[in-house]
Amino acid sequence: MPRTIFEPFRIKSVEPIRVTTRDERKGLLDQARLNPFRLHSDDVLLDFLTDSGTGAMSAHQWGAIMEGDESYAGSPSFFRLEKVVRSITGYKHLIPTHQGRAAEHLLFEIAAKPGDVIPNNTHFDTTRANVEVRGCEARDLPTPEALKPRERHPFKGNIDLARVEALLSSEAHRVPFGMLTLTNNSGGGQPASIENVRAYKALLARFGKPLILDACRFAENAMFVKQREKGQAERSVREIAGEIFSLADGCTMSAKKDGMVNIGGFLALNDDALAEEARRLLVLTEGFPTYGGLAGRDLEALAVGLEEVLDEQYLRYRLRTAEFLGEKLLAGGVAIVEPTGGHAVYLDARDFLPHLAPEQYPAWALTCALYLEGGIRAVEIGSVMFGKRLPDGRETYAPLELVRLAFPRRVYTQSHFELAAEVIVELKQKAREIRGVRIAKQSPHLRHFTAELDWA
Ligand code: F0G
């Protein structure tokens, strides 16, 4: 077999990329109030803001779109999707939603109450926000290696079982269920091992608590397990994913990631009573239970996407993408979270910009510099996203200042990644010129999406 890992697809339809000058980008970034979320995407050269809903669908998916049945109730498209979800996850009930956070909202409404604590390896920002809006506490309990960017542990997405046990031993009555995010997006796109999921499941079961997965990137996680975990190399990714799902009682899913679609999500559960309650709420906020917030054609595209994502040739290429960029950055002296994650490369902004203090939001400043320098749009996973302004005016800060370059699925080719590496390595040479930022305007929830900033 040749050693080159190539894009296992041909390109049938293309979108032109607009090339801008540095001067243009300076004006555009000022107009966006130094917030990359406020940029127009056609002013971006390489859009690594997110891997969510930004992927390219296959010809097979586009074909399936024409098969979509748009009946309000009982659409065959729903039953097609239900069959696929059941065959992959084994869960009895499929509750479609327009995207992942709607599934999270349903889950916390029906299965948690104010004052509860939800343990997780790391809650993603929307998950945390949905937990907090419910009056609950989102408790991040990642394995200690997850907080050491340079430590090359194969499963930095593991949950810290000792701390889960301590929580359950002292406050089990406050814990309605445990969660696990696969892969751990906020922690670097890092996988959890099957061994960790098994032990977490056993621990929760000892206290009579269910396990719910945040399964957005379940296939990438399963591929990492195949590549890295002892005794898993000979199993298929489908089998590995199936075992992980079988260890849990349900999942929330943003299908915009490993569902390979531009919109969609679901909540899947085994428990009949909970599912019934979820559907009751679904009708209020999303739609009738056989379409959730989606069109029949979306359900069809997702049914195909969930099968395609399990293609191991694709997954090998997918994980190699991040590794490829990571190797180039490391060779150029840029510190990243190691090893590279499934869907993204995370730059360590504290290392990149050692002259900036936490209150100058180094990771945010680096996202601005990446855009100015090379038209690259990335996302801050640092103190603007995870810090807070407390009611007394004090600020809290995140444990890590990371910049995530997240890769849309099947969209960019190897030369795009070579270009990104060139830009970032060159920017590192003049990192001392990068100024910090301060927040001029912010909202109390998910402030990073809309904040307005100034250079400090
Ligand atoms: N859970 C995880 C781990 C996620 O990464 C996301 C979304 C969600 C839940 C919410 O799903 O967007 O469909 O409502 N992550 C995107 C990202 C936005 O850029 O990482 P959603």
Give the start-to-end residue ranges of the domains of the chain.
22-51+311-455, 59-308
Can you give the pLDDT at residue 287? 96
How confident is the model over 386-395, as a mean pLDDT? 88
* pLDDT classification of 399: cutoffs 50, 70, 90: confident
Q: Which atom of ligand 1 is nearest to the CA of 185?
A: 3
The reply to whether ligand 1 has any atom less than 6 angstroms from the CB of 193 is no
* Calpha distance 348→389 (Å, rounded): 23
**CA of residue 126 to ligand 1 center, whole Å:** 7
Q: Do domains 22-51+311-455 and 59-308 have the same CATH topology?
A: no
Tell how strand 178-181 and strand 137-140 pair up. Answer: unpaired
The reply to whether ligand 1 has any atom less than 6 angstroms from the CB of 302 is no
- Closest listed residue to residue 348, CA positions, set 362, 368, 360, 358: 362
How confident is the model over 334-362, as a mean pLDDT? 96
**CA of residue 392 to ligand 1 center, whole Å:** 30
How confident is the model over 179-204, as a mean pLDDT? 95
How confident is the model over 383-407, as a mean pLDDT? 92
- The secondary element (H helix, E strand) that includes residue 317 is helix 312-331
What is the per-residue pLDDT across 129-176, written as a single tens digit (0 to 9) for each?
A: 999 999 999 999 999 999 899 999 999 999 999 999 999 999 999 999
What is the per-residue pLDDT across 409-433, written as a single tens digit (0 to 9) for each?
A: 999 999 999 999 999 999 999 999 9
Can you give the pLDDT at residue 186? 81
The reply to whether ligand 1 has any atom less than 6 angstroms from the CB of 158 is no
Residues across the chain: 456
Whether 114 and 333 have beta carbons less than 8 Å apart is answered as no
Can you give the pLDDT at residue 125? 85
Whether 408 and 54 have beta carbons less than 8 Å apart is answered as yes
* Calpha distance 164→209 (Å, rounded): 12
* pLDDT classification of 445: cutoffs 50, 70, 90: confident
What is the per-residue pLDDT across 40-61, written as a single tens digit (0 to 9) for each?
A: 999 999 999 999 999 999 999 9
Q: What angle do CA 192, 197, 203 make, to 5 degrees?
A: 135
Whether 167 and 119 have beta carbons less than 8 Å apart is answered as yes
Note the pTM of the prediction, 2 decimals: 0.95
Ligand 1: which residue has its CA nearest to atom 16? 52
Can you give the pLDDT at residue 446? 83
Using DSSP's 3-state secondary structure scheme, residue 137 falls into strand
CA–CA distance from 174 to each of 25, 120, 170 (Å)? 49, 14, 9
- From the candidate CATH numbers 3.20.20.70, 3.30.70.1290, 3.40.640.10, 3.10.20.30, the one assigned to the domain spanning 59-308: 3.40.640.10
Residue 1 pLDDT > 80: no
* pLDDT classification of 187: cutoffs 50, 70, 90: confident
Ligand 1: which residue has its CA nearest to atom 4? 124
What stretches of 112-192 show up as alpha helix (H) in DSSP? Answer: 125-133, 161-171
> What is the dihedral sign for C-alpha 414, 32, 255, 339?
positive
* Calpha distance 95→286 (Å, rounded): 10
The reply to whether ligand 1 has any atom less than 6 angstroms from the CB of 408 is no
How confident is the model over 3-9, as a mean pLDDT? 91
The reply to whether ligand 1 has any atom less than 6 angstroms from the CB of 214 is yes
* Calpha distance 352→40 (Å, rounded): 26
**CA of residue 259 to ligand 1 center, whole Å:** 12
The reply to whether ligand 1 has any atom less than 6 angstroms from the CB of 212 is no
CA–CA distance from 446 to each of 8, 178, 380 (Å)? 36, 23, 12
Can you give the pLDDT at residue 3? 84
Residue 291 pLDDT > 80: yes
Tell me which CATH code domain 22-51+311-455 carries. Answer: 3.90.1150.10
The reply to whether ligand 1 has any atom less than 6 angstroms from the CB of 61 is no
Tell how strand 265-269 and strand 93-97 pair up. Answer: antiparallel
* pLDDT classification of 386: cutoffs 50, 70, 90: confident
Strand ranges of the sheet holding 344-348, from the earlier edge strand across to the other edge: 344-348, 402-406, 379-381
* Calpha distance 147→161 (Å, rounded): 16
Q: What percent of the chain has pLDDT over 70?
A: 100
**CA of residue 124 to ligand 1 center, whole Å:** 7
**CA of residue 367 to ligand 1 center, whole Å:** 19
Can you give the pLDDT at residue 391? 87
* Calpha distance 27→92 (Å, rounded): 52
Ligand 1: which residue has its CA nearest to atom 18? 52
